[in-house]
Amino acid sequence: MSRLTENPFASTATLDNNPFDDPTTANSTFHQQESRSAGLRQADLERREQELAAREAALNERAEHIRKHGRNNFPPFFPLIFHSIKDEIPEAHQQTMTRLFQLWLVLGVTLIVNLVAMIFVVVSGDGDGVRDLSGSITYLPIIGLLSFLLWYRPVYNAYMKDQALYFYLYFFFAGWHLLFSVYAVIGIPGTGAAGLITTVIAFKHGHIVSGVLCVISSVGWVIQTVGNALYYQKTWAYHNQAGHTLEKAKGELAANGARSYFSRG
C-alpha cells in the first residue's frame, strides 16, 4: 500500500524543474545577452563610421582631383589639356621633365625667329624665294605641333606613368626630330631653315638685319639640338635602368590601347 500511496508525479516534477528558475542563472544569462547585443551594436556603429569616413575621403579625393586636374590649362591661350610637371611628374624626374619642356619652348621660339629671319632673307634676295618662305611657314605649325604630340607628350607620359610604351614612342620620334634639328642647324638654302650656311650668306652680302636674325635662329637650333641630344641620352639610360623592354611595351599597348595616351595617372 505504501507504494501505491507514493506521488506518481514526483519524478515528473523533478524533470520539469526550470534551471532558469534560479535567479542567479537567469541574471547571468540576461547580462550575457545584453553584452552580446551591445557588442553587435558597437560593431555596427564602427562599421557605419568606417563607411562614412571612407565616403568622406573619396569625396575629398575627388574634390582635390577636380581642383588640380579638372580644368585644362595648356596651352594658356586656348587650353586643351592639363599640363603640370609639379602635380603629375614624380619628384625624382621633375627636373628632367622641366628641362625637356624648356627645350620644347626654345624650339617654339626658334621656329618663330626662323620664320621672321627667312622673310628678311627672301626680301633681301639671298634666299631661294618661294621654297625658303614656304618651308619656314610650314615648319612653324607642323614641327611645333608634331613635336609636342609625338615626342614631348610621350616622354611626359613616360615619366608620369613609368610605362615602356611611351619611352619607345619618345625614342622613335625624338630621334627623327634630332635629325631634323641637325638639318636645320646646317641651314642649306632652299630648305626654309635659317641656319649656319644661310647666316654666312646673309653677312657675306652685307645684309645685317637678316644676318643677325639668322644668327639668333641658328643659336636656337643649336641649343635645342644639343639639349635634346643630352636628355635623349639621359632618358635612354633611365629607361634601361628601369628595365623597360619592347615586350613590355607591346603588353601595355595590348592592355591599354591608344586611350592611355589621353589619360592621366
d(CA 184, CA 252) in angstroms, rounded, equals 35
pLDDT of residue 10: 47
CA atoms within 13 A on the CB side of 263: 8
DSSP 150: I
pLDDT of residue 84: 92
Neighbouring C-beta atoms of residue 171, cutoff 10 Å: 17
The residue behind cell 615586350 is 247
pLDDT of residue 72: 84
How far, rounded to the nearest angstrom, does the alpha carbon of residue 138 sit from its chain's CA centroid? 30
pLDDT of residue 260: 63
pLDDT of residue 51: 80
Q: Which of 228, 220, 223 is nearest to 115 (CA)?
A: 220
pLDDT of residue 176: 97
pLDDT band for 45, please (50, 70, 90 cuts).
confident
Average pLDDT for 117-141: 90
pLDDT of residue 54: 83
What are the extents of the domains in the chain? 11-69, 94-262
pLDDT of residue 248: 87
pLDDT band for 9, please (50, 70, 90 cuts).
very low
Task: Retrieve residue 237's grid coordinates.
Answer: 639610360
Position with higher pLDDT, 122 vs 59: 122
Asked whether the whole model's pTM tops 0.75, one would answer no
DSSP 78: S
Which positions ≥6 away from 121 have C-beta within 8 Å?
127, 132, 194, 198, 202, 207, 210, 214
pLDDT of residue 253: 79
Is residue 260 packed enough to be buried (19+ CB in 10 Å), middle (13-18) or exposed (0-12)? middle
